[in-house]
Amino acid sequence: MTAKLGRTIAWCAWHRDLADDVALIQPAPEPATDPGGALYACQRCRETYRLTPWEDRP
């Protein structure tokens, strides 16, 4: 069994459960303007909802 290096486990905001293949979709807003957290989505939800990871946006 091989360990997956650089693995990120986070909450998928779309299917509302933990996932280990998440990508940042929307960073957290500035604390002074709007409270809230960053939104992450797993691979399945990114495909289903056609979500573009933050790092892939122009």
Distances in whole angstroms, Cα of residue 12 to Cα of each of 15, 18, 33, 36, 52: 6, 6, 24, 15, 14
Residue 37 lies in a domain: yes
Condensed to tens digits (0 to 9), the pLDDT of residues 41-53 reads: 999 999 999 999 9
Residue 5 lies in a domain: no
Residue 14 lies in a domain: yes
Residue 16 lies in a domain: yes
The whole domain housing 29 covers 10-56
Condensed to tens digits (0 to 9), the pLDDT of residues 16-38 reads: 999 999 999 998 876 666 556 88
- Residue 40 contacts residue 55 (beta carbons within 8 Å): no
Q: How many domains does the chain fold into?
A: 1
